[in-house]
Amino acid sequence: MPELPEVETVVRGLRPSLIGQTIRGAVLPAVLEQRSRRMLNVAAEELNAAVSDQPILAVERRAKYILLHLQEAVVAVHLKMTGRLYILPTGEVADSDRYLRITFPLAGGQELRFSDARRFGRVYVGASIDRLLPILGPEPLDDAFTVEALRAQLANRHGVLKALLLDQSFVAGIGNIYADESLHIAGIHPKRAADSLSDGEIEQLHGAIRQALNDGIKWQGASIRWYRQVDGTKGQSQDHFRVYHDPRSEKDKRCPVCDTPIVTIRVGQRGTHFCPICQPAL
């Protein structure tokens, strides 16, 4: 599932082409109109009415959500596993169109398209972000996310650290990949208890989270399976992972620091990758 770096890359790819454009409506294939309530928070005709003739004022990210700020509404898109947002001239056909779920015609002769092979993606519309999004933790790349802020977030937390990093109400935007990468950079075992970290380890974790996410953005996200940038090209983050890997395609992943084979375990039902030497258990 796309995480903060992938979603941020999509937002940066959309922003230059969308800001200042006007959405003319929202069009769903006829076969989907009666089955769209799982994907939408309103009926298809309500989505169309809410976005029609609305100028796009800003394109932003919150956690793993892509936000289109319109003059009188906000559209929030969660890509989930296989969702894609891309822009094409009206009438041009793309390979991703075989999974097309929503088309947003634009006044400039282009279309913003949302495709989703697995149909897990979500498109919500409302008057404000507060009414659309769940409770979310702080943005880990914001200036307000300091070492002290992370220490306060960890106070009185007793759970497993890896699972806590995946909790979007704890910190926003981190998923399985970048949790593993962050913990390796910090030298912390994924099964450590959250309340066992020393002040020095909290500082290391804070820096590691920001480094892992910034590296992910630098390499335009990870195209392990479905994720693509707005222009359809792959990201390169998967070529630079320290510990995370797909064992089906990379069976002998080794630690870039000590060359020890990376170990894979389950933490909170998620595949978890770590170096037993650089990230020792207590």
> Alpha-carbon distance 36 to 26, whole Å?
12
The answer for residues whose C-beta is within 8 angstroms of residue 213's C-beta and 6 or more apart is: 4, 5, 140, 141, 173, 174, 178, 182
Is 2 labeled as catalytic in the residue annotation? yes
Catalytic entry in 2, 5, 105, 140: 2
The answer for residues whose C-beta is within 8 angstroms of residue 148's C-beta and 6 or more apart is: none
> Alpha-carbon distance 51 to 170, whole Å?
32
131 secondary structure, DSSP code: G
> Alpha-carbon distance 122 to 211, whole Å?
29
- 276 has which bridge partners? none
Catalytic entry in 119, 256, 270, 276: 270
Q: Which long-range contacts (CB under 8 A, 24 or more apart) does 144-148 make?
A: 145/171, 145/206, 145/210, 146/206, 147/202, 147/203, 147/206
- 89 has which bridge partners? 110
Catalytic entry in 24, 61, 64, 113: 64
Catalytic entry in 3, 6, 8, 111: 3
Is 64 labeled as catalytic in the residue annotation? yes
| Angle, CA of 272, 135 and 183, to the nearest 5° | 25
Task: List residues with catalytic annotation.
Answer: 2-3, 64, 270
